[in-house]
Chain A
Amino acid sequence: METVIKANKLTKRFGDFVAVDEITFDVYKGEIFGFLGANGAGKTTAMRMLCGLSTPTSGEATVAGFDVFTQPEEIKKNIGYMSQKFSLYEDLSVLENIEFYGGIYGLSRSEIREKNKELISKLGLEKEANNLVRSLPLGWKQKLSFLVAIVHQPKIVFLDEPTGGVDPYMRREFWDLIYDAADKGITIFVTTHYLDEAEYCNRVTIMVDGKIEALDSPGGLRQKFGVASMDEVFYKLARQAKRSAD
C-alpha cells in the first residue's frame, strides 16, 4: 500500500508544554484515517503540523512525499484542509466562495465554472447558489466547506472536527460526502470526538495527552480492549488522561 503520510516521533512543544509527544504513524492512500481524542489531547496541533501550518519541534514527517520542515509550501499544493473554525467567507455567496478558493488553488475560469455546477448540484443548493453563505444553516455550511476544501482534487484532505455542532442527520450526509471523496482516491484524515463517526473510519488512532495510545481498525480496537463499542475503548483510554481538557 502506498503511504501518503509518514510521521516519526513528531513532537510539538510550546515552552514547557508538550502538545504533541513523539507520535509515529503511517497513513495509506485512499483510507479514512480517524484521529480521536479528548479536547486538548493534541489532535489539532498534530494536524496543523502535517498541513504545513505549524513547524514541528522535533521528529520527522512527510506528507504526499514532502517534508514538513523544509517543503511546507509543496505540501500545501497537495492537500485540502478544513479547520475547526468555519472558514468560508460569510459575506460572499456560495458561488463566490467556490470561485475564490478554486482560483487561489490555481484553477482556470472554465474549471471553476464546472466545479460550480458540480458542487451546487451535489449539495442541492441550486436556489441558494447566489445567496450569501451567512444565510445558510450550519450543516450546509460545513458540507460546503468540505467540498471547497477538496475543490482542487488534493491527494489528502485534513478535516478538523468537521461535524461539530451539526445534527445527526446532517452528519450522516456529511459522511456520505466523505465516502464519496474517498472513493475518488482522496485520502481522508479526520479528527472527531463523535465515537459513532470513529466506526466509519478504516483505521483510528486515539490520542491521550499528546501521545498516541492506540492505533487500529475500529474492530481491532474493540477486540484488543475486549469491549463492545468504540465508546468503551475511548473511555478506557481517556480515563488515563492527566491533562485537563481545554
Chain B
Amino acid sequence: MRPLWFLLQKEFRQIFRDKGFIGRLFIAPAIQLILLPMAANFTIKNINIAIVDHDHSTVSQELADKIKSSGYFKLTGYTDFNSKADKLIENDKADIVLEIPDGFAQDLIKEGSKKVAIEVNAINGVKASVGFGYLSGIMTDYNNQIRMEMVEPTPLPAQPDIEVVPSFWYNPTLTYYIFMVPAILVSLVTGIAGLSAAFNIVKEKEIGTIEQINVTPIKKWQFILGKLLPFVVMGAVVFSFGLLIAFVGYGIAPIGNLITMYTFLLVFLFAILGFGLLISTYTETQQQANSLMFLFMMVFNMMSGLYTPIDSMPQWAKIITHLFPVSYFIDVMRMVVIKGSGFADIRFHILYVFIIGLVLNTWAILNYRKTT
C-alpha cells in the first residue's frame, strides 16, 4: 500500500503546483455554464420576415402589424415586388416571405376566403419550421378574429372548436436552461476528468518518467489507482462547483437527493477515468491523446442527448449512445435535478455505467504494460 500513498502525494503536489490546471478547473465550468445555456436555446426569436403586399389595404396592414407585434418576427422588408422579396431571401436578409395577393381584403369580404403565399428559407431547418409554425399560428388567429368581426354571428359556431389546454410536467414554464445546465455540467466533468487523466499519464510517457516508474517494483494497480484517484477528486470538485453555479446563476436547486447524484457521479468517474486511462495506453504523446479525445468528446456531445433527444435518433444510433457513460449521466442528471428521481429510478443507469466502467478499466489495465 505504501507506494500508493507516495504516488498520491506526488500527484497532488504536481496538480496543486500547476496553476494553469487549477485555473481551468474553475474557469472552464464558470464560462461554459454561463455562456453555453444561453447559446443552446431553442426558443427562436428574431425571425426575419419580408412582406410582399400587393393589396395595400387596411386589412393587409393590420395583418402585417399583427405579425410585427408578435415578438418573434423582425420585418426586414415591406415591398410590392416579388422579385425584391426573393432577393432578400437570396441575400439571407429574410427567412420568410409572406405574399399578400392583390384584392386580398375585397375577396376576403366578398368570398369569405383568400389564399396567401408563404416562402420559407429552409437552410436552417429548425428556424424554418419553427418560423413557419409561428406564422401559421398568427394567421389562424387573425383568421378567427376577422371571422368574428365580419361574419354575422350565428347561434352555433359553424365548426366545433377544440381547445387544447397543455400542462407541462416537471418544467412547467418550459425554461430551457433547467434542461441544459445539468447536461452541460456532465459534459464538463467528462472533459475535465477524463481528459486530464489521459493527459497526465501520457505526459509521463512524453517526458520519460514513466520508464523510471516501470522499472520500479510498483504494482500496476497501485500506479493506476494513484493516477486516477486524484481525478476522482478533481471531478467531484468541478461537479460541486458547477452545481453551485447552477444554483447561484440559474436558481436551479436539484429536486432529487444530492447523495443520489454523487453516488452516480462516482460510478460515472470510474467509467470515464477508465476511458481516459484506455486512451493513454494507446497514445504516446499528448497531441495524439488530444486528437483522439477531441474526436470522442465531439461524439459524446452530439450523441449523448445533450442537445438533441436520443429518442429521435435512428435505432442504430440509439444503440451506440447506450455505450456512452455520458448519455446515462445526462439522463440521470435531468431525472434527479428536474424530476427528483431517486435511487430506485436510476438503478439500471448505475448498473450499466458500472459495467461499462468495468470493461473500460479492465481493458486499460490489460493494455497497460510495465514490460513491453
| Chain B binds chain A | yes
Residues of A at the B interface (CB closer than 8 Å) are: 51-55, 72-73, 76-77, 79, 81, 83, 85-92, 96, 99-106, 108
Chain A hits for B7, CB < 8 A: 100, 103-104
CB contacts under 8 Å to A, within B345-372, are 370-372
Chain B hits for A102, CB < 8 A: 6
* B7, B217, B370 pick with most chain A CB within 10 angstroms: B217
**What does the 1/0 interface line of B203-219 toward A look like (CB < 8 Å)?**
00001110111111110
Q: Cα distance A92–B213 when bound, in Å?
A: 15
Contact assessment for A100 and B6 in the assembled complex, using a CB-CB cutoff below 8 Å: yes
Could you jot down 21 A-B contacts, CB within 8 Å?
A: A52-B215, A52-B371, A53-B371, A53-B372, A73-B370, A76-B215, A76-B217, A77-B217, A81-B212, A83-B215, A86-B207, A86-B208, A87-B211, A91-B14, A100-B7, A101-B212, A103-B3, A103-B5, A103-B9, A104-B3, A105-B216
Residue of A with least CB distance to B214: A53
Contact assessment for B211 and A76 in the assembled complex, using a CB-CB cutoff below 8 Å: no
Q: Cα distance A72–B217 when bound, in Å?
A: 9
Chain A hits for B207, CB < 8 A: 85-86, 90
CB contacts under 8 Å to A, within B212-260, are 212-218
Contact assessment for A73 and B14 in the assembled complex, using a CB-CB cutoff below 8 Å: no
Number of interface residues of B (CB under 8 A): 25
The secondary-structure label for the interface of chain B is helix
Contact assessment for A101 and B216 in the assembled complex, using a CB-CB cutoff below 8 Å: yes
CB distance from B206 to the nearest CB of A (A): 10
B110 CB-CB contact with A under 8 Å: no
Selected contact of B208 from candidates A72, A83, A91, A101, CB within 8 Å: A83
B114 CB-CB contact with A under 8 Å: no
Residue of A with least CB distance to B10: A100
CB contacts under 8 Å to A, within B163-191, are none
Chain A hits for B214, CB < 8 A: 53
B115 CB-CB contact with A under 8 Å: no
Known: A53-B211, A85-B211, A104-B7. A72 touches B14 (CB 8 A): no
Residue of A with least CB distance to B219: A73
Chain A hits for B5, CB < 8 A: 103
Known: A53-B371, A76-B215. A96 touches B13 (CB 8 A): yes
Chain A hits for B216, CB < 8 A: 76, 101, 104-105
Q: Cα distance A83–B209 when bound, in Å?
A: 9
CB distance from A38 to the nearest CB of B (A): 22
11 new A-B contacts at CB < 8 Å, known A76-B216, A87-B208, A106-B217: A53-B370, A54-B372, A73-B370, A79-B215, A83-B212, A88-B209, A89-B14, A96-B13, A101-B216, A103-B2, A105-B216
Enumerate the 10 nearest inter-chain pairs by beta-carbon distance, A residue then B residue, closest first.
A103-B6, A85-B208, A87-B212, A81-B215, A104-B3, A77-B217, A76-B217, A100-B10, A72-B371, A104-B218
